[in-house]
Structure 1
């Protein structure tokens, strides 16, 4: 049986505006102080439109945090090591844009709602993406997931220790060897 959509077609711009407003407010006020009505006001949409798309704050925040959390398809003939480096640099630049605060929330109260949201929306997809890139470089090794988890951990630790995001030179010189990647590794 064919599904019939009633009413107006869903406006993708409303989704985009709501998700962008959510990310902005998360950075400004944090998860606990975030309110659905503030997101609606910031996005310039009605509260009803927001609730028609997401059942509540947790679902909305997960969707917002998942923006930009995906594996970028490699261009044909792209060097898998270069693709991995690019993925690691995206993580590094995300640390001052809220990723660090999400990880801190997970450490502060691992059983909290915000920790669950951070793990589901950002951390698990991030490790999965790194794992896919890493597998293209070194193949399916027994500790692939552990190595993939090491990458963001190293990036976060270095940011905490130095106050700076890793740059490409540091990723290539310090992080890739820890992951078992050499510059001459190619897809298997």
Structure 2
């Protein structure tokens, strides 16, 4: 009689657990590459105008792929506004000079400097397109108009608190009154990039008496602003 051997099931040794891989974070943005793309945008815009500008042309000028460009800016409008912002004044908090006249003088001179030179020519191109492009108009309003209007509002409120003028309701709305004429002057000037710094500064100072009257203040004897 043949005895059968009982088979013992073999146990398999589980393979050693592999450590969980740590998720890799995305590559940090390269500031130099960002700047190259924005500079290329300005160059193509100056050469071709807004309507003829394409993201492909900008990417080729910057030496990057269009995918790289779109990872940073999702649309042509966003790209152009970001590029223009590098060439236009950075709007900082309004310095407190201690007087309304001093505050408005600084603000008008800042704005005149921003609207002349190469920046002025670029803004002319963008403003012209914004009349037909709602998205671009909204972006320009948010980036360039609202900050300077807030600066005017802050200066006026401080002046009211000091007792220089009576309180003004809706002080920020005065921004359009104070800065609007200066913007019209430079944006309607052929080739504002040919206006030198001294001329821009002098023009800003000529607008100062009218800005003071608009907010209910009169500077210096005879209604003329005092010298800086």
What TM-score results when the alignment is normalised by the length of structure 2? 0.61
Structure 2 CA distance, aligned partners of 1:162 and 1:8? Answer: 44
Which runs of no fewer than 5 residues in structure 1 stay unpaired?
none
**Structure 1 residues 72-115: Cα deviation after superposition (integer angstroms, max 9, x where no partner):** 2456x6445434323322322333333334334344x3x54433
Contact 1:25 1:34 in 2 (8 A): yes
Contact 2:40 2:58 in 1 (8 A): yes
Given candidates 113, 137, 151, the residue that maps to 1:115 is 137
Structure 2 CA distance, aligned partners of 1:51 and 1:12? Answer: 15
What is aligned with 2:31?
12
Query: Is 2:177 the counterpart of 1:150?
Result: yes
Relative distance call for 1:123 and 1:13 in structure 2 (3 A) is same
> Number of aligned pairs?
178
Given candidates 108, 119, 122, the residue that maps to 1:88 is 108
Query: Is 2:122 the counterpart of 1:72?
Result: no
**Structure 1 residues 121-153: Cα deviation after superposition (integer angstroms, max 9, x where no partner):** 323333234333443344562031221111232
Structure 2 CA distance, aligned partners of 1:82 and 1:40? Answer: 44
What is aligned with 2:14?
none
Relative distance call for 1:162 and 1:8 in structure 2 (3 A) is closer
Contact 2:50 2:129 in 1 (8 A): no
Higher helix share: 1
What TM-score results when the alignment is normalised by the length of structure 1? 0.71
Q: Which has the larger Rg?
A: 2
What is aligned with 1:54?
73
